[in-house]
């Protein structure tokens, strides 16, 4: 490679860096915002401007289905062919112009005005979940009680999943997350994840057929009504993309809710600011996306040789776009380590940028803001039960608590 690693380079899945990666990421960015990592066999891109360049440059490809397949143990490969065919139809793993063609099918359904139709339902669902699970005086796990079931409830309603199908649907999604986020380790876990993806596609294919026969008030019915399925995209592509929608909807939003509650309840001044002005719940969610969001990085591949910040990245090189570092770049964000619910100015990269900006961002924000505002303003007794003993999922990609013990 054309450059040596910085002296501070370490394995990003070390337990202390899983718990708190930010000082290390700041040091990496300060040493060199673009550097080769022998430990990860990848370029680490940690500067805001450099990450933005990669998100805009067609020489940087989002296609990473092959690396995911290569990680599957040999004994589980016989289950993999159909599953990875499904992943190849996810728009997040496609580059322009294919990505644009696939994305346009969902563009209207994900527009802010379309998502706003679910505001009343989301607020009602939030209070219903809190009434059942977040009973004042009780001790519980906010992840299990609120952060996971609320997005699941809203996203299932939005997709048109019948309540009776919910348990199977969300089991499959959890297993798919193990595959895509790299948390599957054993051969049995890979087999379960691959089979879950196939089962999820079978289920959604059947649901599409049912919605063709009897349309409802949901995403699938809306997209079918627009008439693009069978024209600009095939039915197989549509169902494949629905598996991406199903997977992406719950995981990111659950972690965003939990991380925002944690951020506020470890910063009393910011918590007080939101309680004084509930509209600042939106600012709290945005600051969490910037400072400690549900995504730490996205993985790309160099489609051809390119120069980035004086480094030569060769075709086929793997690239880690470390948005968790870019979102704390002092060249872009004043006082970047401070959590400020009134912050304005530069755009964070918590939902990506450009062609691959998260299509579900408006819905994720709607659910997260509703949850945070209601918890902060209607549960004044809420407190962290053991903030010094929190555990995080070991993952390069996502920033997810295993649990968030609280007193309601």
Residue 10 belongs to some domain of the structure: no
Cβ-count burial of 269 within 10 angstroms (0-12 exposed, 13-18 middle, 19+ buried)? exposed
pLDDT level of residue 79 (50, 70, 90 thresholds): low
For the chain, what is the domain count? 1
Decide if pLDDT at 396 tops 80.
yes
Instruction: Give the residue among 329, 288, 320 at the shortest CA–CA distance from 11.
Output: 320
What mean pLDDT is reported for the chain?
Answer: 93
Q: Which two tokens stand for residue 218?
A: 């949901």
Helix, strand, coil in percent for the chain, rounding step 5: 55, 10, 35
Decide if pLDDT at 7 tops 70.
no
Return the bridge partners of 45, or none: 34, 321
DSSP assignment, residue 3? S
What residue numbers bound the domain in which 22 lies? 15-407
Tell me the pLDDT tens digit for each residue of 109-151: 899 899 999 999 999 999 999 999 999 999 999 999 999 999 9
Least confidently predicted of 24-28, 154-158, 186-190: 186-190
Tell me the pLDDT tens digit for each residue of 9-66: 799 999 999 999 999 999 999 999 999 999 999 999 999 999 999 999 999 999 988 7
Q: What is the pTM of this model?
A: 0.92
Decide if pLDDT at 101 tops 90.
yes
Q: Return the sign of the alpha-carbon dihedral for residues 320, 325, 327, 329.
A: negative
Contact between residue 239 and residue 203 where contact means Cβ atoms under 8 Å apart: no
One-character DSSP codes across 163-226:
GGGHHHHHHHHHHHHHHHTT---SHHHHHHHHHHHHHHHHHHHHHHHHHHHS--SSHHHHHHHH
Instruction: Give the residue among 313, 306, 300 at the shortest CA–CA distance from 1.
Output: 313
Q: Are strands 42-45 and 318-321 parallel, antiparallel or unpaired?
A: parallel
Q: What are the strands of the beta sheet with 298-302, ordered from one edge?
A: 34-37, 42-45, 318-321, 298-302, 60-61
- Residue 257's CB is within 10 A of a number of other CB atoms, namely 30
Average pLDDT over residues 291-311: 97
Q: Which residues of 336-374 are buried (b: 16+ CB within 10 A; e: fewer)?
A: beebbbebeeeebbbbbbebbebbbbbbbbbbbbbbbbb
Tell me the pLDDT tens digit for each residue of 233-259: 999 999 999 999 888 778 899 999 999
Decide if pLDDT at 1 tops 50.
no
Residue 240 belongs to some domain of the structure: yes
Average pLDDT over residues 174-187: 84
Decide if pLDDT at 346 tops 90.
no
Cβ-count burial of 334 within 10 angstroms (0-12 exposed, 13-18 middle, 19+ buried)? exposed
Residue 1 belongs to some domain of the structure: no
Phi, psi of 225 (to 5 degrees): -65, -30
Query: 262: which residues sit within 8 A by CB, 6+ positions away?
Result: 292, 384, 387, 390, 401, 404
pLDDT at 2 (0 to 100): 47
Tell me the pLDDT tens digit for each residue of 364-390: 999 999 999 999 999 999 999 999 899
- Residue 216's CB is within 10 A of a number of other CB atoms, namely 12
pLDDT at 8 (0 to 100): 65
Whether residue 97 has a cis bond before it, omega within 30° of 0:
yes
Residue 128 belongs to some domain of the structure: yes
pLDDT at 367 (0 to 100): 97
Tell me the pLDDT tens digit for each residue of 196-223: 999 999 999 999 999 999 999 999 999 9
One-character DSSP codes across 242-287:
HHHHHHHHHHHHHHHHHHHHHHHHT-HHHHHHHHH-GGGHHHHHHH
Residue 46 belongs to some domain of the structure: yes
Q: Which residues of 46-76 are buried (b: 16+ CB within 10 A; e: fewer)?
A: bbbebbbbbbeeebbbbbbbeebeeebeeeb
Decide if pLDDT at 5 tops 60.
no
Decide if pLDDT at 80 tops 60.
yes
Q: Are strands 311-313 and 34-37 parallel, antiparallel or unpaired?
A: unpaired
pLDDT level of residue 73 (50, 70, 90 thresholds): confident
- Residue 400's CB is within 10 A of a number of other CB atoms, namely 24
Residue 104 belongs to some domain of the structure: yes
Average pLDDT over residues 315-326: 97
Residue 268 belongs to some domain of the structure: yes
Instruction: Give the residue among 51, 40, 57, 30 at the shortest CA–CA distance from 1.
Output: 40
CATH (domain of 300): 1.10.630.10
Q: Which two tokens stand for residue 27?
A: 């040091």
Q: Which two tokens stand for residue 239?
A: 């169902």
DSSP assignment, residue 301? E
DSSP assignment, residue 76? G
Residue 189 belongs to some domain of the structure: yes
């Amino acid at each position: 490679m054309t450059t040596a690693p910085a002296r501070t380079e370490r394995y990003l899945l070390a337990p202390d860096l899983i718990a708190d990666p930010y000082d290390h990421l700041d040091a990496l960015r300060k040493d060199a915002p673009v550097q080769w990592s022998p430990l990860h066999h990848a370029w680490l891109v940690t500067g805001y401007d450099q990450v933005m360049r990669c998100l805009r440059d067609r020489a940087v490809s989002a296609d990473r289905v092959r690396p995911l397949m290569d990680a599957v143990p040999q004994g589980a490969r016989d289950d993999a062919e159909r599953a990875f065919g499904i992943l190849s139809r996810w728009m997040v793993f496609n580059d322009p112009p294919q990505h644009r063609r696939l994305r346009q099918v969902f563009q209207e359904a994900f527009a802010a005005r379309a998502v706003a139709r679910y505001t009343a339902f989301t607020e009602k669902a939030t209070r219903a979940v809190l009434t059942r699970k977040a009973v004042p005086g009780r001790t519980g796990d906010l992840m299990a009680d609120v952060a996971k079931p609320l997005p699941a409830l809203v996203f299932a309603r939005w997709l048109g999943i019948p309540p009776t199908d919910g348990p199977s649907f969300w089991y499959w999604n959890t297993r798919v997350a193990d595959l895509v986020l790299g948390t599957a380790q054993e051969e049995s876990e890979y087999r379960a994840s691959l089979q879950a993806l196939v089962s999820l596609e079978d289920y959604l294919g059947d649901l599409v057929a049912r919605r063709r026969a009897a349309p409802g008030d949901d995403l699938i019915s809306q997209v079918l009504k627009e008439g693009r399925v069978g024209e600009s995209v095939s039915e197989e592509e549509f169902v494949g993309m629905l598996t991406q929608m199903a997977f992406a909807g719950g995981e990111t939003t659950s972690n965003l809710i939990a991380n925002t509650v944690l951020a506020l309840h470890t910063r009393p001044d910011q918590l007080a600011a939101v309680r004084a002005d509930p509209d600042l719940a939106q600012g709290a969610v945005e600051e969490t996306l910037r400072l400690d969001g549900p995504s730490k990085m996205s993985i790309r591949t160099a489609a051809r040789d390119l120069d980035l910040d004086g480094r030569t990245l060769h075709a086929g090189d793997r690239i880690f776009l470390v948005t968790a570092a870019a979102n704390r770049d002092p060249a872009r964000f004043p006082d970047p380590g401070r959590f400020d619910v009134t912050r304005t100015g530069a755009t964070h990269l918590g939902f990506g940028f450009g062609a691959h900006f998260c299509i579900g961002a408006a819905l994720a924000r709607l659910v997260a803001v509703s949850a945070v505002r209601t918890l902060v303003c209607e549960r004044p007794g809420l407190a962290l039960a053991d903030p010094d003993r929190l555990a995080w999922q070991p993952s390069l990609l996502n920033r997810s608590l295993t649990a968030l013990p609280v007193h309601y």
